[in-house]
Every structure is written in structure tokens, then in C-alpha cells.
């Protein structure tokens, strides 16, 4: 029998191999060493992440500002949650205008469909589509020749009957003279008098026919009844047109002045009426996004009844529309300035909160805590609200980060974090301004309700 024996180049045939029982303790010892190393590493990581930081020397280079804890919070203790980061704005006094906003539709003062008054062949069209025309401007011309002939015929009939009337009157005068001389019967005089009256009526009829013929001749010139913009052309030269055509020759829409129709809630009708008694009520029309002012005008009138389906009253405001910014059937945002509240206490709209007990604000105390203060709100604009009671001018109120607060909670300011050493150069965008959060730029920006934005909570 041949013996097959594989020679391992890594082992030597003469070297003795250890038994399997001796190799098992070595493997167990290596596993224990590995487990011990992992335990030491885990313990070291836990120590590094949970150890207390040494309190830095106040004012030392590279140290944290006074009051900032190891995690950037004011007064954050070992293992405690850091205070919430908030932004504050001081309440201030300002004049606040009270507006009534409504969605309106631009409606022209007049929309006229120009139709011919007589039938005939259209000779000329003297306007272009979209042209601005003036009142009395010639738009089209109908063939006038048939109407000129009709006028001549009516004029001839009038002149003939007027001559007969003149002759009858002279005859009547002779008969009356003969009657005084008792040379003619009274019956002949009365008959001649009746003939004169008959011819007088005939002449009046002739004059009316002549006037009708002259008017029809004038109707061959189609003119613009109002000033405005001409729409798309409905007929071309060479067509036979008549007064019964539904589309007419053109449609003219008056653009200046122009009205905006809107609705007013029935609860504010009396307020509008009281304002009207004091004088003209200014009105402004904005575009769909309320970003651009289109035109300025004044309130015109109110409807005479309330719409029971919507609880509103229709109103109209009139605008000169000299620049043509308002277009018929355009949707705009209408704003009526009802009154102005002078020297009112205002805060940003984001500072006002609402709870089960009503409106409130968070007021920042000197010890970096906040107090929940109940307030009474007044009229509001898009960015600020009037505080009727419960707040004094100059008191700081929280505008950002109030969702995580409660009465007596500790807070830190975004502006303080931004001014810390090493971070002053990278101040967060929107951090509270040094003047209490309201932007620089004078009373003009305060009138618009603009307030300084604050940095959001990290």
C-alpha cells in the first residue's frame, strides 16, 4: 500500500506539535484580555462625556462669559438642561393706523357696445384693436348716399307744403276782408281757415321727416359715446350692418376713472359710516401679493342692504387710474384707512401668545427669567399689535423661542451668545439689536410695524 502524506511547508516534520487541550487556555486568555480592553475603553468614554468641567476664571482669555454654563446656558448646573435661547424686543409707543382690508374686483365705470343706428354698408373702420379713444371720436363710416337722398326728398316735401301754406294764408286774408264788406259767405271763410290749419300740420310733419332723414344721415358716422379702450374688432369694412347686430362694431371700456367693488362685514359698517361723516375716506389698491401699491383713491359708496348669504355689504371705491395700473375684472386687495391710534403701545405680532385664559406675553426679568403677563390686545397690522392694557413701554417681551417657556423659566439671549468671546465676529443673523430688537431707521419704519428680527433658538 502507498502512503500519501502532504508536507506543510510551514511546519517541520521533526518539530513536536502541542496537544489540542493545551491550546484552549491560550484562546480563552486572549478573549478575556480583549473584553477587559473594551470595558476600559467604555469606562473612559463615559468619564470623558460626564465629567464636570472646570470653572473658568471670569475674564480670562479664552474663558466663557460670566453666567454661561458648560453647555452655553446661563446657570446650567451639572447634568441640568440648559436654559432656552430666546429673542426679546422692548415694547414701544407708536402711531398705529387702523385699516379695513378686503378683496375687491376692478369694475369699469362704463362699458359700451357700439352698435349702428341705421342699416347700410360699412365703408371704413377708423380704429385699431386696443386703441384708446376719446368721446366723440369717429370710429366707422356707413355709406351715406341713400340717407342723403332721403334727406333731399324730405326737404323738398317740406318746401312744397310750406309754399301751399303761404298761399292758403293769403287767400284767407282776402276772404276775411270780403267778409267784413259782406261780399262773401262766412262758410267760404271757415273752409279756407280749415285749409290753412291743415297745411300747417302738413308742414310740421314734413319738418319732422326732414329731421329724421338728417338724423339718419348723422348716424352713418359711428362715433365713440365715451372715452376708453376699444376691444377686439367685431366687423370689417364691406359688411352690411344693421341696428339688430348683437356684437355691434366695437366695445369700449372706460378706464379712467375706474371703480373697485368689494365687501365690508356688516359689523364694521357703522365704523365706516362714522368715518365718512368726518370726511373723505382714503382707499388704496394693492396687487394680489400685497407687495405693490397699484393706485390710491377714495371710498365712493355703500350698497343699500346686507347680503344675507354672506353677512356683508357691497361697497365701491373710485380711483383716477391715470397710469392704467388697474384693469377691468382684475382682483386686487383693497385697504381703507379708518383711523389712527396715536401713541399706542405696540409689540411685534410674534410676541403675543394665546392660552386658556386669553392673550398673554412673556416679559423678561432682570434675573434672566420670564414672567407670563396677561394683556389686552387692540388692533393689529401684518407685523405688530397694539397692547391696550397689561404692558408698559420699555418692557422686554419674548418674540422667539416662547413655545418652550413657562412662567418663571430661565432663559438666555441670542444676543449674549453672539457677543461671547470668540463668537462676536460670527453674530447670528437676526440676533437682537442693541436698541432692544427694533430696527434702526427712525419712526418711519416703526410706523410700518417693522421690528428687529432675533436669532432663532439653537
Kind plus residue range of the DSSP H or E element containing 231: none
Taking residues 208-229, report their average pLDDT: 94
Break the chain into its structural domains and give their ranges.
Answer: 87-105+256-447, 114-143+221-252, 144-219
What average pLDDT does this structure show over 304-333? Answer: 92
Select from 331, 330, 334, 317 the least CA-distant residue to 257: 317
> In this predicted structure, which of 248-257, 349-358, 421-430 has the lowest mean pLDDT?
421-430
Comparing C-alpha atoms, which of 283, 292, 291, 290 is closest to residue 320?
Answer: 283
Measured distance CA(118)–CA(184) in Å, rounded:
53
Q: pLDDT tens for residues 360-376?
A: 999 999 888 999 999 99
Question: Using 50, 70 and 90 to split pLDDT, how confident is the model at 108?
Answer: very high
Pairwise CA distance, residues 143 & 219, whole Å: 10
Please check whether residue 74 is in contact with residue 67, taking contact to mean a CB–CB distance below 8 angstroms.
yes
Strand 258-265 with 138-142, pairing: unpaired
**Domains 87-105+256-447 and 144-219 in one fold:** no
Residue 267 CA, distance from chain mean position: 22
Q: What integer pLDDT is reported at residue 421 of this predicted model?
A: 57
Strand segments, DSSP code E, in 405-455 are 411-413
What is the CATH code of the structural domain delimited by 114-143+221-252? 2.40.50.100
- The three-state secondary structure class of 240 is strand
- Quote the percentage of the chain above a pLDDT of 90: 47
Question: Given this model, what pLDDT does residue 379 score?
Answer: 84
pLDDT score at 284: 93
Q: Which residues fall within 8 angstroms of residue 149, CB to CB, at 6 or more apart?
A: none
Largest CA distance in the chain: 192
Q: Which residue has the higher pLDDT, 418 or 396?
A: 396
Write out pLDDT tens, residues 275-310.
888 888 899 999 988 889 999 999 999 999 999 999
pLDDT at 165 over 80: yes
CATH number of 87-105+256-447: 2.40.30.170
pLDDT digits (tens, 9 = 90+) for 371-392: 999 999 888 877 889 998 889 9
Say which CATH topology domain 144-219 has: Helix Hairpins (1.10.287)
CB atoms within 10 A of CB 222: 25
Give the pLDDT mean for 195-206.
Answer: 95
Residue 452 has pLDDT above 50, yes or no: no
Place 72 in a pLDDT band, splitting at 50, 70 and 90.
Answer: very low
Residue 112 has pLDDT above 90, yes or no: yes
pLDDT at position 63 = 39
Q: Measured in whole angstroms, how far is the alpha carbon of residue 153 from the centre of its chain?
A: 63
The reported pLDDT for the residue numbered 384 is 87
Q: What is the pLDDT of residue 342?
A: 84
**How many angstroms separate the CA atoms of 384 and 401, rounded?**
17
Q: How many CA atoms lie within 13 A of 257 on its CB side?
A: 12
pLDDT band at 2 (very low <50, low <70, confident <90, very high): very low
Residue 378: what pLDDT? Answer: 86
- First-residue to last-residue Cα distance in the chain: 85
Q: So what's the pLDDT on residue 443?
A: 37
Measure the CA–CA gap between 75 and 10, rounded to whole angstroms: 68
257: preceding bond cis by omega (within 30 degrees)? yes
**Taking a C-beta distance cutoff of 8 angstroms, is the pair 400, 348 a contact?**
no
Confidence of residue 16 (pLDDT cuts 50, 70, 90): low
341 - beta bridge partners? 96
Question: Minimal CA–CA distance to 417: which of 51, 69, 162?
Answer: 69
**Average confidence score pLDDT of the chain:** 81
How would residue 17 be classed by pLDDT, with cut points 50, 70 and 90? low
- pLDDT for residue 119: 93
Amino acid at each position: 500500500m502507498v502512503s500519501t502524506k502532504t508536507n506543510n511547508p510551514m511546519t517541520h516534520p521533526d518539530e513536536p506539535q502541542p496537544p489540542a487541550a493545551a491550546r484552549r487556555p491560550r484562546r480563552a486568555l486572549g478573549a478575556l484580555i480583549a473584553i477587559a480592553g473594551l470595558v476600559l475603553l467604555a469606562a473612559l468614554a463615559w468619564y470623558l462625556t460626564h465629567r464636570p468641567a472646570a470653572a473658568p476664571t471670569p475674564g480670562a482669555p479664552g474663558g466663557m462669559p460670566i453666567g454661561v454654563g458648560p453647555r452655553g446656558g446661563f446657570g446650567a448646573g451639572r447634568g441640568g438642561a440648559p436654559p432656552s435661547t430666546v429673542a426679546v424686543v422692548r415694547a414701544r409707543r407708536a402711531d398705529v393706523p387702523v385699516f379695513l382690508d378686503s378683496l375687491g374686483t376692478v369694475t369699469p365705470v362704463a362699458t359700451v357696445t357700439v352698435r349702428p343706428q341705421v342699416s347700410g354698408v360699412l365703408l371704413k373702420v377708423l380704429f385699431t384693436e386696443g386703441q384708446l379713444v376719446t368721446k366723440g371720436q369717429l370710429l366707422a363710416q356707413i355709406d351715406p348716399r341713400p340717407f342723403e337722398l332721403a334727406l333731399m326728398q324730405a326737404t323738398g316735401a317740406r318746401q312744397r307744403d310750406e309754399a301751399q301754406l303761404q298761399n292758403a294764408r293769403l287767400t284767407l286774408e282776402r276772404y276775411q276782408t270780403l267778409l267784413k264788406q259782406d261780399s262773401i259767405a262766412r262758410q267760404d271763410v271757415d273752409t279756407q281757415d280749415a285749409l290753412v290749419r291743415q297745411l300747417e300740420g302738413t308742414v310740421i310733419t314734413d319738418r319732422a321727416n326732414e329731421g329724421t332723414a338728417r338724423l339718419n344721415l348723422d348716424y352713418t358716422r359711428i362715433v365713440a359715446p365715451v372715452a376708453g379702450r376699444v376691444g377686439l374688432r367685431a366687423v370689417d369694412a364691406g359688411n352690411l350692418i344693421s341696428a339688430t347686430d348683437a356684437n355691434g362694431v366695437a366695445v369700449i371700456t372706460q378706464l379712467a376713472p375706474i371703480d373697485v367693488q368689494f365687501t365690508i362685514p356688516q359689523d364694521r359698517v357703522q365704523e365706516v359710516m362714522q368715518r365718512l361723516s368726518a370726511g373723505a375716506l382714503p382707499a388704496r389698491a394693492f396687487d394680489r401679493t400685497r407687495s405693490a401699491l397699484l393706485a390710491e383713491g377714495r371710498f365712493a359708496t355703500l350698497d343699500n342692504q346686507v347680503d344675507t348669504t354672506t353677512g356683508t355689504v357691497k361697497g365701491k371705491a373710485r380711483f383716477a387710474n391715470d397710469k392704467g395700473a388697474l384693469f377691468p375684472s382684475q382682483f386686487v386687495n383693497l385697504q381703507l384707512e379708518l383711523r389712527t391710534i396715536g401713541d399706542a403701545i405696540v409689540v411685534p405680532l410674534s410676541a403675543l401668545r394665546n392660552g386658556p385664559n386669553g392673550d398673554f406675553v412673556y416679559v423678561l426679568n432682570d434675573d434672566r427669567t420670564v414672567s407670563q403677563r396677561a394683556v389686552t390686545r387692540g388692533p393689529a397690522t401684518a407685523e405688530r399689535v397694539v397692547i391696550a392694557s397689561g404692558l408698559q413701554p420699555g418692557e422686554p417681551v419674548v418674540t422667539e423661542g416662547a413655545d418652550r417657556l413657562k412662567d418663571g423659566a430661565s432663559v438666555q439671549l441670542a444676543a449674549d451668545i453672539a457677543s461671547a468671546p470668540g463668537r462676536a465676529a460670527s453674530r447670528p443673523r437676526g440676533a437682537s439689536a442693541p436698541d432692544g430688537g427694533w430696527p434702526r431707521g427712525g419712526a418711519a419704519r416703526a410706523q410700518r410695524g417693522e421690528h428687529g428680527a432675533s436669532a432663532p433658538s439653537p
